[in-house]
Amino acid sequence: MTNSGSLINKAQIQCLAVFSVFAIIGFGPISPGCLIGMFIVLFRPHWFWQLAVNVYAGKPITPTTASAEQSKQARKKGFWGLLTLFVIDIVPLPVTPTIAFFIILARPEWFYRLIASIYQTA
């Protein structure tokens, strides 16, 4: 495995494994992925920023910066989006893990920019 843009990297494999477990245990009324996501948006732990950097390793990303106000707005939108997914995940379909699989595999630039805005860094 390599960190080239076309091959999957170690961090992606680890995230896919975690969200596979979440897909299995997430059939109940609680969505662990959403709960962890809300925690991340609120507290911005360093480990998640490092994970995002590792997942996007080898993928060319246009540098971006966010002001404090833009970061605050990104955190609000992120929290409300995750809360909405949390409610949707009550149905017996693993919606959040499915979205996470797409993001982990495709590594869309908009998601990296969202994380950078939440963390006020690039």
19 belongs to a structural domain: yes
Structural domain boundaries, residue 49: 10-119
102 belongs to a structural domain: yes
Of the two residues 23 and 15, the one the predictor is more confident about is: 15
Task: Over range 33-62, report the average pLDDT.
Answer: 95
pLDDT tens track for 59-115: 999 888 889 999 999 999 999 999 999 999 888 778 899 999 999 999 999 999 999
- The identity of residue 22, as a single letter, is F
pTM of the model: 0.86
115 belongs to a structural domain: yes
Number of structural domains in the chain? 1
Residues 22, 26, 32, CA angle at the centre, nearest 5°?
A: 65
Contacts 24+ apart (CB under 8 A), 44-47: 44/75, 44/118, 44/119
Question: How does the average pLDDT of the chain come out, rounded?
Answer: 89
pLDDT on residue 2: 44
1 belongs to a structural domain: no
Phi, psi angle pair for 8, to nearest 5°: -80, 140
- Whether the per-residue pLDDT at 121 is higher than 80: the answer is no
